[in-house]
């Protein structure tokens, strides 16, 4: 966790070796955060277990280059959202999905020669549900990546990240 740094630091959080807890303030959205980002210049796979907010919030993984260039995918208790922003033009899709009453999802970011992929699975599943593969301008040599937390509601909610695992891949 020491390689991950806040962009849009939450007012209340606790960051330990393999766990982060935070209060997600009302009316937060991408790209202002909170995002917890690391940088990599190699091919890799990164997995993190994130809580799923019940409603009005999304938690997932983000690929970040600039405030005007990012891609993200996240879950709430009722839907999945996908966001991309290139040159300041944002596209957001939100689709109803069943989270099977799961409290957490295991999110994966994979960077390889084909691009940067985002996906998730539930604890009882083996196979990753790939949501998106993106090629963002400016991310050819290195990328910033990590979990994001949003909240369209009026009340704060608690979110957690556990079991972060980073694996370097061969080129």
C-alpha to C-alpha distance for 56 and 10, rounded to whole angstroms: 17
Over residues 5-28, mean pLDDT: 93
The mean pLDDT of the chain is 92
**Number of folded domains in the chain?**
1
Map tokens 């940067």 to a residue. 116
pLDDT at 62: 96
Q: What is the pLDDT of residues 128-161, one digit of tens each?
A: 999 999 988 877 888 999 999 999 999 999 999 9
107: domain CATH number is 2.60.120.200
Statement: residue 16 has pLDDT above 90: no
pLDDT at 1: 60
Backbone φ and ψ of 91, nearest 5°: -125, 125
pLDDT at 131: 95
pLDDT at 29: 93
Q: Specify the pTM.
A: 0.93
Q: 96 is in which domain, residue-wise?
A: 5-168
Strand 69-75 versus strand 57-66 pairing type: antiparallel
pLDDT at 120: 98
Q: What is the pLDDT of residues 37-85, one digit of tens each?
A: 999 999 999 999 999 998 889 999 999 988 889 999 999 999 999 999 9
pLDDT at 157: 95
Statement: residue 86 has pLDDT above 80: yes
């Amino acid at each position: 966790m020491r390689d991950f740094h806040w962009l849009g630091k939450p007012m209340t959080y606790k960051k330990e070796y393999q766990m982060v807890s935070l209060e997600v303030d009302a009316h937060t959205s991408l790209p202002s955060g909170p995002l917890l980002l690391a940088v990599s210049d190699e091919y890799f796979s990164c997995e993190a277990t994130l809580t799923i907010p019940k409603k009005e919030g999304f938690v997932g993984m983000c690929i970040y280059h600039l405030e005007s260039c990012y891609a993200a995918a996240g879950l709430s208790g009722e839907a999945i959202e996908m966001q991309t922003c290139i040159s300041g033009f944002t596209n957001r899709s939100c689709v109803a999905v069943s989270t099977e009453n799961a409290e957490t999802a295991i999110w994966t970011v994979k960077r390889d020669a084909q691009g940067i992929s985002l996906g998730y699975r539930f604890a009882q599943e083996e196979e990753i549900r790939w949501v998106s593969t993106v090629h963002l301008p400016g991310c050819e040599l290195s990328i910033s990546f990590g979990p994001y937390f949003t909240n369209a509601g009026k009340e704060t909610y608690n979110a957690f990240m556990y079991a972060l695992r980073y694996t370097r891949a061969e080129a």
